[in-house]
Amino acid sequence: MAGEIAAAGGVVWRLRDGVVEVALVYRERYGDWTLPKGKLEADESARVAAHREVREETGARVALGRFLGRTGYLLGADHKVVDYFAARYLDGEFVPSEEVADLRWMPVPDAVARLSHDRDLPVLAAFSALPADLTTVLLVRHAKAGSRAQWEDADELRPLSRNGEKQVPPVRELAAVYGAERVYSAPLVRCVETVRPVADDIGVPVVEEELLAERKYEGMADAATRRLAEIAAGGGVSVVCSQGGVIPDLVTRVAADSPVSLPRRVESKKGSVWALFFAGTHLVAADYIRVP
Protein backbone atom coordinates (compact mmCIF):
# COMPACT_ATOMS: atom_id res chain seq x y z
CA MET A 1 0.00 0.00 0.00
CA ALA A 2 1.30 3.45 -0.94
CA GLY A 3 2.16 5.77 1.92
CA GLU A 4 3.17 9.37 2.46
CA ILE A 5 6.75 10.43 3.17
CA ALA A 6 7.07 13.74 5.02
CA ALA A 7 10.18 15.78 4.29
CA ALA A 8 11.42 19.34 4.69
CA GLY A 9 14.08 21.56 3.19
CA GLY A 10 15.18 25.09 2.62
CA VAL A 11 16.14 27.80 0.19
CA VAL A 12 19.51 28.60 1.70
CA TRP A 13 20.53 32.14 0.84
CA ARG A 14 23.28 34.67 1.42
CA LEU A 15 24.15 38.19 0.28
CA ARG A 16 27.34 38.45 -1.77
CA ASP A 17 28.38 41.84 -3.15
CA GLY A 18 24.79 43.00 -2.79
CA VAL A 19 23.36 40.04 -4.75
CA VAL A 20 21.17 37.35 -3.20
CA GLU A 21 22.62 33.91 -3.90
CA VAL A 22 20.99 30.56 -3.16
CA ALA A 23 22.57 27.15 -2.66
CA LEU A 24 21.77 24.18 -4.89
CA VAL A 25 23.05 20.68 -4.21
CA TYR A 26 24.03 17.99 -6.70
CA ARG A 27 23.00 14.42 -5.90
CA GLU A 28 25.16 12.03 -7.88
CA ARG A 29 22.80 9.13 -7.20
CA TYR A 30 19.98 10.89 -9.06
CA GLY A 31 22.11 13.09 -11.32
CA ASP A 32 20.11 16.19 -10.34
CA TRP A 33 20.52 19.72 -9.02
CA THR A 34 17.97 20.47 -6.36
CA LEU A 35 17.21 22.29 -3.11
CA PRO A 36 18.55 20.68 0.08
CA LYS A 37 15.92 18.57 1.82
CA GLY A 38 15.34 15.31 3.65
CA LYS A 39 12.87 13.13 5.53
CA LEU A 40 11.48 14.01 8.95
CA GLU A 41 12.68 11.86 11.80
CA ALA A 42 10.21 10.36 14.30
CA ASP A 43 8.37 13.08 16.26
CA GLU A 44 10.29 15.81 14.44
CA SER A 45 8.59 18.98 13.19
CA ALA A 46 9.04 20.19 9.62
CA ARG A 47 10.96 23.27 10.75
CA VAL A 48 13.38 21.34 12.91
CA ALA A 49 13.84 18.79 10.12
CA ALA A 50 14.51 21.54 7.55
CA HIS A 51 17.12 23.09 9.81
CA ARG A 52 18.82 19.73 10.43
CA GLU A 53 18.69 18.54 6.81
CA VAL A 54 20.13 21.79 5.49
CA ARG A 55 23.06 21.43 7.92
CA GLU A 56 23.60 17.78 6.98
CA GLU A 57 23.48 18.34 3.21
CA THR A 58 25.22 21.70 2.90
CA GLY A 59 27.32 22.09 6.04
CA ALA A 60 25.60 25.45 6.61
CA ARG A 61 24.32 26.70 9.91
CA VAL A 62 21.19 28.69 9.07
CA ALA A 63 18.41 30.74 10.62
CA LEU A 64 15.03 29.71 9.28
CA GLY A 65 12.61 32.23 7.86
CA ARG A 66 9.14 32.15 6.36
CA PHE A 67 7.33 29.11 4.99
CA LEU A 68 7.66 29.00 1.20
CA GLY A 69 5.29 26.22 0.25
CA ARG A 70 4.88 22.48 -0.16
CA THR A 71 5.74 20.26 -3.10
CA GLY A 72 4.60 16.71 -3.70
CA TYR A 73 5.64 13.95 -6.04
CA LEU A 74 5.66 10.19 -6.40
CA LEU A 75 8.67 8.32 -5.09
CA GLY A 76 8.17 4.74 -6.15
CA ALA A 77 4.80 3.72 -4.74
CA ASP A 78 4.85 6.48 -2.12
CA HIS A 79 3.86 10.13 -2.21
CA LYS A 80 6.57 12.43 -0.91
CA VAL A 81 5.60 15.86 0.42
CA VAL A 82 8.26 18.47 1.16
CA ASP A 83 7.77 21.66 3.18
CA TYR A 84 10.23 24.42 2.31
CA PHE A 85 11.42 27.42 4.32
CA ALA A 86 13.69 30.35 3.66
CA ALA A 87 17.02 29.71 5.40
CA ARG A 88 19.55 32.51 5.95
CA TYR A 89 23.16 31.32 5.80
CA LEU A 90 25.14 32.08 8.95
CA ASP A 91 28.34 30.06 8.62
CA GLY A 92 29.73 26.62 7.81
CA GLU A 93 31.50 24.90 4.94
CA PHE A 94 30.28 22.27 2.49
CA VAL A 95 31.95 18.84 2.56
CA PRO A 96 31.00 16.30 -0.17
CA SER A 97 29.28 13.15 1.04
CA GLU A 98 27.75 9.98 -0.37
CA GLU A 99 24.40 11.79 -0.59
CA VAL A 100 25.52 15.20 -1.87
CA ALA A 101 28.49 15.41 -4.23
CA ASP A 102 28.57 19.15 -4.93
CA LEU A 103 27.12 22.50 -3.88
CA ARG A 104 26.94 25.71 -5.89
CA TRP A 105 26.01 29.23 -4.85
CA MET A 106 24.32 31.22 -7.60
CA PRO A 107 21.94 34.14 -8.18
CA VAL A 108 18.29 33.14 -8.28
CA PRO A 109 17.90 33.42 -12.11
CA ASP A 110 20.87 31.07 -12.55
CA ALA A 111 19.43 28.68 -9.97
CA VAL A 112 16.11 28.63 -11.84
CA ALA A 113 17.96 27.61 -14.99
CA ARG A 114 20.05 24.97 -13.19
CA LEU A 115 17.29 23.18 -11.24
CA SER A 116 16.55 19.70 -12.55
CA HIS A 117 12.91 19.48 -11.41
CA ASP A 118 10.07 21.84 -12.31
CA ARG A 119 8.47 21.14 -8.92
CA ASP A 120 11.22 23.23 -7.29
CA LEU A 121 10.46 26.33 -9.37
CA PRO A 122 7.41 27.55 -7.38
CA VAL A 123 9.51 27.36 -4.21
CA LEU A 124 12.15 29.68 -5.65
CA ALA A 125 9.39 31.92 -7.02
CA ALA A 126 7.86 32.19 -3.54
CA PHE A 127 11.28 33.02 -2.11
CA SER A 128 11.85 35.73 -4.71
CA ALA A 129 8.41 37.29 -4.22
CA LEU A 130 9.60 39.13 -1.08
CA PRO A 131 12.90 40.63 0.04
CA ALA A 132 15.24 37.96 1.38
CA ASP A 133 16.50 39.89 4.41
CA LEU A 134 13.44 40.21 6.64
CA THR A 135 13.14 40.78 10.38
CA THR A 136 11.59 37.92 12.34
CA VAL A 137 9.42 38.27 15.44
CA LEU A 138 8.34 35.04 17.14
CA LEU A 139 5.21 36.02 19.07
CA VAL A 140 4.69 33.30 21.68
CA ARG A 141 1.66 32.68 23.85
CA HIS A 142 2.85 31.52 27.25
CA ALA A 143 2.68 27.80 28.00
CA LYS A 144 -0.01 26.29 30.23
CA ALA A 145 -0.11 27.63 33.77
CA GLY A 146 -1.55 26.27 36.97
CA SER A 147 -5.25 26.62 37.78
CA ARG A 148 -6.33 30.21 38.40
CA ALA A 149 -9.09 29.01 40.73
CA GLN A 150 -6.60 27.16 42.92
CA TRP A 151 -4.01 29.94 42.97
CA GLU A 152 -4.25 32.13 46.06
CA ASP A 153 -1.53 34.69 45.30
CA ALA A 154 -1.47 37.53 42.76
CA ASP A 155 -2.32 36.25 39.27
CA GLU A 156 0.86 37.64 37.71
CA LEU A 157 2.83 35.30 39.99
CA ARG A 158 1.04 32.15 38.79
CA PRO A 159 3.70 29.79 37.35
CA LEU A 160 3.64 27.20 34.62
CA SER A 161 2.02 23.85 35.34
CA ARG A 162 3.77 20.53 34.72
CA ASN A 163 2.02 20.32 31.35
CA GLY A 164 3.17 23.87 30.62
CA GLU A 165 6.75 22.97 31.43
CA LYS A 166 6.52 20.27 28.73
CA GLN A 167 5.62 22.96 26.17
CA VAL A 168 8.74 25.00 26.87
CA PRO A 169 11.34 22.76 25.10
CA PRO A 170 9.54 22.97 21.70
CA VAL A 171 9.42 26.78 22.01
CA ARG A 172 13.11 26.76 22.89
CA GLU A 173 13.84 24.53 19.91
CA LEU A 174 11.89 26.79 17.54
CA ALA A 175 13.75 29.85 18.81
CA ALA A 176 17.03 28.08 18.06
CA VAL A 177 16.15 27.14 14.46
CA TYR A 178 14.98 30.71 13.77
CA GLY A 179 18.20 32.10 15.26
CA ALA A 180 16.74 34.10 18.16
CA GLU A 181 18.82 37.11 19.24
CA ARG A 182 16.63 39.03 21.71
CA VAL A 183 13.87 38.08 24.15
CA TYR A 184 10.91 40.14 25.40
CA SER A 185 8.06 39.16 27.69
CA ALA A 186 4.97 40.45 29.46
CA PRO A 187 5.89 40.82 33.15
CA LEU A 188 4.06 37.71 34.34
CA VAL A 189 5.83 34.70 35.82
CA ARG A 190 4.22 32.26 33.37
CA CYS A 191 5.28 34.39 30.38
CA VAL A 192 8.84 34.86 31.59
CA GLU A 193 9.17 31.17 32.46
CA THR A 194 8.12 30.24 28.92
CA VAL A 195 10.96 32.15 27.25
CA ARG A 196 13.68 32.38 29.91
CA PRO A 197 15.38 29.19 28.61
CA VAL A 198 15.64 30.88 25.20
CA ALA A 199 17.30 33.90 26.80
CA ASP A 200 19.65 31.65 28.77
CA ASP A 201 20.62 29.77 25.60
CA ILE A 202 21.74 32.94 23.82
CA GLY A 203 23.02 34.80 26.87
CA VAL A 204 20.65 37.77 26.90
CA PRO A 205 18.20 39.13 29.49
CA VAL A 206 14.42 38.83 29.25
CA VAL A 207 13.25 42.40 28.66
CA GLU A 208 9.87 42.90 30.32
CA GLU A 209 7.22 44.81 28.36
CA GLU A 210 4.15 45.89 30.35
CA LEU A 211 2.17 46.72 27.20
CA LEU A 212 2.18 43.03 26.29
CA ALA A 213 0.23 42.07 29.41
CA GLU A 214 -3.57 41.86 29.20
CA ARG A 215 -4.07 44.32 32.06
CA LYS A 216 -2.12 47.03 30.21
CA TYR A 217 -3.08 46.10 26.65
CA GLU A 218 -6.76 46.91 27.15
CA GLY A 219 -7.10 50.58 26.30
CA MET A 220 -3.49 50.80 25.08
CA ALA A 221 -3.61 48.49 22.06
CA ASP A 222 -2.32 51.18 19.70
CA ALA A 223 0.72 51.77 21.90
CA ALA A 224 1.36 48.02 22.13
CA THR A 225 1.16 47.73 18.34
CA ARG A 226 3.68 50.54 17.96
CA ARG A 227 5.97 48.84 20.48
CA LEU A 228 5.90 45.57 18.52
CA ALA A 229 6.73 47.55 15.37
CA GLU A 230 9.68 49.12 17.21
CA ILE A 231 10.93 45.66 18.17
CA ALA A 232 10.64 44.58 14.53
CA ALA A 233 12.43 47.71 13.35
CA GLY A 234 15.40 46.68 15.50
CA GLY A 235 16.14 43.97 12.93
CA GLY A 236 17.31 40.42 13.48
CA VAL A 237 15.21 37.83 15.30
CA SER A 238 13.21 38.57 18.44
CA VAL A 239 11.15 36.30 20.69
CA VAL A 240 8.18 38.04 22.31
CA CYS A 241 5.94 36.31 24.87
CA SER A 242 2.42 37.52 25.66
CA GLN A 243 -1.08 36.34 26.60
CA GLY A 244 -4.16 34.99 24.88
CA GLY A 245 -6.07 38.20 25.49
CA VAL A 246 -3.45 40.15 23.55
CA ILE A 247 -2.05 38.08 20.69
CA PRO A 248 -5.06 37.65 18.33
CA ASP A 249 -5.89 41.36 18.41
CA LEU A 250 -2.23 42.39 18.18
CA VAL A 251 -1.61 40.16 15.15
CA THR A 252 -4.78 41.49 13.51
CA ARG A 253 -3.68 45.09 14.07
CA VAL A 254 -0.17 44.49 12.76
CA ALA A 255 -1.59 42.82 9.64
CA ALA A 256 -4.25 45.49 8.99
CA ASP A 257 -2.33 47.39 6.29
CA SER A 258 -0.25 44.48 5.04
CA PRO A 259 -0.55 41.90 2.24
CA VAL A 260 -0.92 39.15 4.85
CA SER A 261 -4.29 37.39 4.77
CA LEU A 262 -5.27 36.12 8.20
CA PRO A 263 -7.94 33.53 9.01
CA ARG A 264 -11.26 34.90 10.24
CA ARG A 265 -10.40 33.62 13.70
CA VAL A 266 -6.79 34.28 14.67
CA GLU A 267 -5.63 31.33 16.74
CA SER A 268 -3.38 31.57 19.77
CA LYS A 269 -3.18 28.27 21.63
CA LYS A 270 -1.05 28.13 24.77
CA GLY A 271 2.54 27.49 23.79
CA SER A 272 1.88 28.34 20.12
CA VAL A 273 3.92 30.78 18.05
CA TRP A 274 3.13 33.37 15.40
CA ALA A 275 6.24 33.78 13.23
CA LEU A 276 5.91 37.33 11.90
CA PHE A 277 8.17 38.66 9.15
CA PHE A 278 8.74 42.37 8.62
CA ALA A 279 10.34 44.62 6.06
CA GLY A 280 11.17 47.51 8.38
CA THR A 281 7.95 47.98 10.37
CA HIS A 282 5.73 46.55 7.62
CA LEU A 283 4.43 43.00 8.05
CA VAL A 284 4.90 40.99 4.85
CA ALA A 285 4.40 37.35 5.93
CA ALA A 286 3.11 35.37 8.89
CA ASP A 287 3.13 31.68 9.84
CA TYR A 288 1.16 30.16 12.71
CA ILE A 289 2.95 27.32 14.48
CA ARG A 290 1.22 24.99 16.91
CA VAL A 291 3.50 23.60 19.59
CA PRO A 292 2.61 20.21 21.13
Residue 1: predicted pLDDT: 45
Residue 2: predicted pLDDT: 64
Report field, pTM of the whole predicted structure over 0.85: yes
Q: Which fold has domain 135-289?
A: Rossmann fold (3.40.50)
**Are residues 13 and 57 in contact, defined by beta-carbon separation less than 8 angstroms?**
no
- Cβ–Cβ contacts within 10 Å for residue 96, how many? 12
**pLDDT < 70: residue spans in the chain:** 1-2, 77
User: Can you tell me the distance from the alpha carbon of 169 to that of 237, in angstroms, rounded to the nearest whole number?
Assistant: 18
pLDDT in tens, 166-220: 999 999 999 999 999 999 999 999 999 999 999 999 999 999 999 999 999 998 9
Q: Residue ranges per domain, the chain?
A: 4-128, 135-289
User: Can you tell me the distance from the alpha carbon of 58 to that of 79, in angstroms, rounded to the nearest whole number?
Assistant: 25
Q: Which residues contact 133 (CB under 8 A, 6 or more apart)?
A: 15, 88
- Cβ-in-10-Å burial (0-12, 13-18, 19+) of 240 comes to buried
CATH class for the domain made up of 4-128: alpha beta
